[in-house]
Amino acid sequence: MDNRNPRAADSNQGAKELPFLIINKAAQVLQPGQRVVIMRGVYRARVAVDGKFMSAFVRAQKPRSS
Q: pLDDT per residue over 20-29, tens digit each?
A: 998 888 888 8
- The C-alpha R_g of the chain, in whole angstroms, comes to 12
Quote the domain boundaries for residue 61. 1-66
Cα separation, 61 vs 41, whole angstroms: 7
CB 10 within 8 A of CB 20: yes
Count the domains in the chain.
1
* pLDDT, tens only, 11-65: 999 998 999 998 888 888 888 888 888 888 888 877 777 777 777 666 777 666 6
Distant-in-sequence, close-in-space partners of 60: CB < 8 Å, separation ≥ 6: 38, 39, 40, 41, 42, 43
Residue 8: CB atoms within 10 Å = 19
